[in-house]
Structure 1
Amino acid sequence: MSNVQSQRSEWAYLKSMTIATAFTGLCLMSVINFATAEIGALLLVPMCLMPVPLRLKVWTFGTSAHVACNLVLTSLGFPPVAFYVLKGALKGIDNIRIGEFWTWMEALSEWNSATFVYISMVHLPCWGLCMLILLHSS
């Protein structure tokens, strides 16, 4: 097997592991709190299905659009960014403070919320795996 094929299969294995992790986490989360799993799936599933390594050899309009979608999905899929985008859309950009995400996460932890469990044990690991796929050298 050539070096290019082995690198292609490496990120393909990483992508399948990301999808399997998301599937398992969302299935378990749907038993605990279906609403959290459903909202998480809206961000997580496209983020796990779209990524390909950014270091492409040939750039066409299609690959450029794919890369743009990957960057938008992974940036919006990062929980603090999603929190601030949603907060900015609902309350306006003028009402956003930097420490609000930390305060929200502390409150979720104190309340033993399923959302805290989902973010820390499902969403962040899958986001990290998607970042590894995007930054994989191909």
Structure 2
Amino acid sequence: MSTEPRTVTINILVTKPLEIDEPDWCVDPHTGANFRPDIAHNGPEIAASFETALGTVDYLRAWISHAPYVALVSEPLPIVAVEVDAEVMALDPDSLRAFTATTRAHLDALDLLADEADRIRGEAR
């Protein structure tokens, strides 16, 4: 058995403040980022709201977002985050336009359902 002192290298987490550029559209307080890839700039949120008998329902939340230190991001520029049914989609401008076109078509279909419901209700009277 050797009497020489032994050493081992251990990776430890060291934290220190990081100063980053802040876009003028960012409203995120930047709390909870422990690593550079956790940093995201988020703009003001918009949401559609609808009043029901049970209260207000917010849906189709969206905001501009940019995670400048995420290496696997295929779109390095800010994207639009759109939340539908608790799932967030990261869309570039062309994909967002395609999404809104699909949503408009769906809204037209909902109007047709309302017309059909009116017709059925009229027959039931």
What is the TM-score with the length of structure 1 in the denominator? 0.27
Structure whose residues are more often helix by fraction: 1
Q: Which one has more relative contact order, counting CA pairs under 8 Å at least 6 apart?
A: 1
Structure whose residues are more often strand by fraction: 2
